[in-house]
Structure 1
Amino acid sequence: MATDYTELTESNGKHPRTARGLKTKRKLLDAAALEFGEKGFHEASITGITQRAGTALGSFYTYFDSKDELFSALVKELSNMVKERAALALAPKQSAIDAERSVLHTFLEFARDHQEIYRIIDEAEFIDPQSYREHYEHAAQRIEERLAEGAKAGELRSDIGEIEAWAIMGMNVFLGLRYGIWSEEKSAAEIAEIANGILARGITADKGPG
């Protein structure tokens, strides 16, 4: 399970000042993602995190004030990672429908590499409701912006907006759960192509001409 939580949004003023400090903080973040992902927030412990990271207990408090603060930082970081991966998936002059296929493909691969994301984000609903809500609101907003660009280009209906964006996001989230976390029986490319067909053609039967 690959992790790389190096772009943490700093909110407590505890910035690493040396390369060694950056490395230590990265170890703590990587270890925390595994600890929270495997045990859940309540069963996870600061001691367990530092043991996984191979750091002294005091190192934790050099960068974080509490387990809650670290958890909130991870939620924001995971959200940022999803955003960055989606941006990298987009290609210049890509159609609106193809853009959604590329983003879903990338998200499925991300979910398979970072399976801890689902447990951490789900628990955030109760541990850090604001970060939980922001995670989904920001994701839906990005989809809505892409749809708006497609409508402006004449590729999509002009009345598509927020509801459609949330519907697409919901589809992506649960496809990630089914085919990224529960099993990998189909390739990410195949799943994204099938989902893309729903967006492009709907699910009604083609009855042919009159």
Structure 2
Amino acid sequence: MAEICRRAGVANGTFYQYFKDKEAVLLELATRLSKALRTELAVALQAEDDLEARLLAAFRIFVSFIRENRALYQIFREIEFVHKRTHNRFYEGLVKIFAHCFAEAYRHGEVRRVDFEVAAVATIGVLHFLVLRWLILGPGEVPEQA
């Protein structure tokens, strides 16, 4: 924590007025990351007219968000082992957003009846592993044709 305080230009004591410990900081960062990403995705998905456009918009938002917040995303990935409830809430929020997207597509006759939650989880899995492969572990950029 001393290194974080030094880089932020604040005294260690000031830090502990706001956060109990390192875990509290990680939880706050993960919560903010989760909320910001879900908000961006929800807005983008509502702005598009059809399922293909919604999913392409979601893909671009997700990749762009992680590209701009790589360090925070790494922290978020570690939260799973520190605070499983926060980690699960993040994915449950994403599942709701994407399940709603598939349900809307069904109501508009764009897709056949499927389990919307399963479709949402599959979509999130694709997004997560594309980002993990290219932005986090790999060369640094997701190919445009992906």
- TM-score when normalising by structure 1: 0.64
> 1:24-63 to 2 correspondence within 5 Å?
46-63=1-18
Partner of residue 142, structure 1: 97
Write the distance in 2 (CA, Å) between the matches of 1:92 and 1:67.
38
Q: Secondary structure of 1:156's match?
A: coil
Displacement of 1:126 in angstroms is 1.1
Cα gap change, 1:89/1:180 in structure 2, threshold over 3 Å: closer, same or farther?
A: farther
Cα gap change, 1:71/1:92 in structure 2, threshold over 3 Å: closer, same or farther?
A: closer
Displacement of 1:179 in angstroms is 2.4
Structure 1 runs of 4+ off > 3 angstroms?
Answer: 90-93, 184-187
Cα gap change, 1:93/1:114 in structure 2, threshold over 3 Å: closer, same or farther?
A: closer
- Give the alignment partner of residue 108 of structure 2, picking from 150, 153, 161: 153
| Alpha-carbon displacement from aligned partner over 1:9-35 (angstroms, at most 9, x marks no partner) | xxxxxxxxxxxxxxxxxxxxxxxxxxx
Query: Are 1:50 and 1:56, in contact at CA under 8 Å, matched by a contact in 2?
Result: yes
Cα gap change, 1:186/1:79 in structure 2, threshold over 3 Å: closer, same or farther?
A: closer
- TM-score when normalising by structure 2: 0.89
Write the distance in 1 (CA, Å) between the matches of 2:32 and 2:80.
16
Partner of residue 37, structure 1: none
Q: CA RMSD in A?
A: 1.7
Percent of aligned pairs with the same amino acid: 29
Write the distance in 2 (CA, Å) between the matches of 1:138 and 1:178.
23
Q: Secondary structure of 2:145's match?
A: helix
Query: Are 1:151 and 1:160, in contact at CA under 8 Å, matched by a contact in 2?
Result: no
Write the distance in 2 (CA, Å) between the matches of 1:49 and 1:161.
42
| Alpha-carbon displacement from aligned partner over 1:115-160 (angstroms, at most 9, x marks no partner) | 1233212211111111011111111111001111111111111224
Partner of residue 183, structure 1: 139
Displacement of 1:114 in angstroms is 1.1
Write the distance in 2 (CA, Å) between the matches of 1:190 and 1:88.
24
Cα gap change, 1:108/1:185 in structure 2, threshold over 3 Å: closer, same or farther?
A: closer
- Give the alignment partner of residue 124 of structure 1, picking from 53, 63, 79: 79
- Give the alignment partner of residue 82 of structure 1, picking from 37, 53, 56: 37
Cα gap change, 1:129/1:117 in structure 2, threshold over 3 Å: closer, same or farther?
A: same
- Gapped runs of 5+ residues in structure 1? 1-45, 192-210
Write the distance in 1 (CA, Å) between the matches of 2:23 and 2:142.
36
Q: Secondary structure of 1:55's match?
A: coil
1:109 aligns with 2:61: no
**Structure possessing the higher radius of gyration over alpha carbons:** 1
Write the distance in 2 (CA, Å) between the matches of 1:82 and 1:93.
17
Q: Secondary structure of 2:47's match?
A: coil
Query: Are 2:48 and 2:54, in contact at CA under 8 Å, matched by a contact in 1?
Result: no
- Gapped runs of 5+ residues in structure 2? none
Cα gap change, 1:120/1:186 in structure 2, threshold over 3 Å: closer, same or farther?
A: closer
